[in-house]
Amino acid sequence: MIAKGTIRPGRRAVLAGIAGAGLCGFADPASVVTLRRMTPAFDRIIAPGTRVEVIARDIQWAEGPVWVPEGGGYLLFSDPPANIVRRWSHGGGVATFLSPSGAADPDRAVLREPGANGLALDRGGRLLIANSGGRSIDRVDLKTRARTVLVDRYKGKKFNSPNDMHVARDGAIWFTDPPYGLAGDDRSPAKELTINGVYRWREGGEAVLVDGSLTRPNGIALSPDERRLYVAISDADDPRVMVYDLGRNGMPTASRVLVSAKAGHAQGKPGLPDGMKVARDGTLVCSMPGGIMFLTPEGEPIGLIETTTPAANAAFGEGGKALYVTNNHEVLRVALRPGWQR
């Protein structure tokens, strides 16, 4: 099944909210979105003929979506270059939620992306921020906006620019730390660590290095049983998704390439492996060249939300009724089959 031309603008209230947010316009056109069925299993996730809704436009780089169920529910998403986290809700449109979202007084000679990147909720429902510009993992009270830096160093050296995270059942935060937020990437004189690491942090402890051998670790997620760790590698020379088998102590016992994205990247498809989420049945929802791909736990493709611009990340929302996709300068909403996902 290939459903073309299935993109529609958001409601008038949404567009009014965008205008009220004072966002800058972009000359490039909106993405064309296609729902591409690769196996019949895709139909149980997204119904054939589903229309894709644009709920936000004119974002410099949309990232890090997370659904907050409180107060009727709303979406938060980040814009790292603009140093803003924005909020969207049904009927409420788009508004600024945090500004600055990352570094309070960024030095643009040092920071390429001064704002927040990945967002998540901790086990108590508080907002967690992978603070690319502040080079830390932060916690924010959703009501007061008070911020606490949870961890910002590994063995005394500042992180590069924390990018994305996953919160485990025990409250541990797994996160990636590529150099994307730094001007000059690995060549930045502000870079204190020689590695681009994957870490785990628990309240009251220090960051534990999970893997320091990766070039560009990005999206991260655990399997539902937490026996596997998935990490997306946004390296244009070797784009891929890695999977790690975890031992009883939570550390990797083995690793392998789950999916290579070399072919899609070589064909010129937009984007690289980036953000990811894992459904309760183990289905991976992962940014790949060409859009957001649904994969089995073994890495077999199920279907694709195909976009003509790079898709960065996705998040389940509304009790599993929708998937929100941060797609370059836009944020998309895709209705999911009732009961398929949380």
> With 0-12 CB in 10 A as exposed, 13-18 as middle and 19+ as buried, what is 150?
middle
Query: In Å, what is the CA distance from 199 to each residue of 61, 177, 228, 229, 280?
Result: 25, 8, 15, 12, 23
Summarize pLDDT for 319-334 with one digit per residue, the tens. Answer: 999 999 999 999 999 9
CA distance 95 to 283: 32
Domain contains 239:
yes
Statement: residue 4 has pLDDT above 50:
no
Q: Which residues contact 206 (CB under 8 A, 6 or more apart)?
A: 151, 154
Q: How far apart are CA 145 and CA 65, in angstroms?
A: 18
State yes or no: pLDDT of 26 exceeds 90: no
Query: Where residue 7 falls among pLDDT bands split at 50, 70, 90?
Result: very low
Q: How confident is the model over 227-239, as pLDDT tens digits?
A: 999 999 999 999 9
Residues 221 and 166: their CA atoms lie apart, in Å, by 5
The pair of three-digit structure tokens given for residue 196, joined into one six-digit string:
């681009």
Does residue 22 surpass a pLDDT of 70? no
Which of the residue ranges 4-18, 192-206, 296-310 would you say has the lowest mean pLDDT?
4-18
Q: Convert the pLDDT of each residue in 92-121 to its tens digit.
A: 999 999 999 999 988 889 999 999 999 999
Domain assignment of residue 198, yes or no = yes
> Does residue 205 sit within a domain?
yes
* Kind of pairing between the strands at 52-56 and 7-9: parallel
Residue 159: predicted pLDDT: 98
Average pLDDT of the residues of the chain: 91
pLDDT at 224 over 60: yes
Domain for residue 162, yes or no?
yes
Tell me, what's the pLDDT at 24? Answer: 31
Q: How far apart are the first and last CA of the chain?
A: 25
Strands 311-317 and 240-246: unpaired
CATH number at residue 220: 2.120.10.30
Contact between 127 and 140 under an 8 Å Cβ cutoff? The reply is yes
Is residue 16 over pLDDT 80? no
Give the model's confidence band at 17: pLDDT under 50 very low, under 70 low, under 90 confident, else very high: very low
**What average pLDDT does the segment 55-69 reach?**
96
Question: How confident is the model over 299-305, as a mean pLDDT?
Answer: 97
In whole angstroms, how far apart are CA 192 and each of 136, 160, 183, 187, 340?
13, 7, 13, 11, 44
Residue 340 within any structural domain of the chain:
no
The predicted pLDDT at position 32 comes to: 86
Residue 342: inside a domain? no
**pTM, full prediction:** 0.91
CA atoms within 13 A on the CB side of 122: 19
Number of domains in the chain: 1
What pLDDT is recorded for position 338? 84
* pLDDT greater than 90 at residue 337: yes
Give the CA distances from residue 337 to residues 72, 75, 191, 299, in Å, rounded to whole numbers and listed in that order.
Answer: 20, 19, 45, 22
For 234-283, strand residue ranges (E) read 240-246, 252-260, 276-278
Domain boundaries, position 213: 2-335
Question: Do residues 35 and 1 make contact, with C-beta atoms less than 8 angstroms apart?
Answer: yes
- Do residues 133 and 106 touch, judged by C-beta distance below 8 A? yes
Rounded alpha-carbon distances, angstroms, from residue 264 to 117, 253, 258: 25, 30, 15
Mean pLDDT across 206-219: 98
Residue 29's pLDDT is: 53
> For residue 202, what is the DSSP state?
-
**What is the enclosing helix (H) or strand (E) of 266?**
helix 262-266
Residue 168: pLDDT over 60: yes
Q: How many CB atoms lie within 10 A of CB 42?
A: 19
Report the pLDDT averaged over residues 33-54. Answer: 95
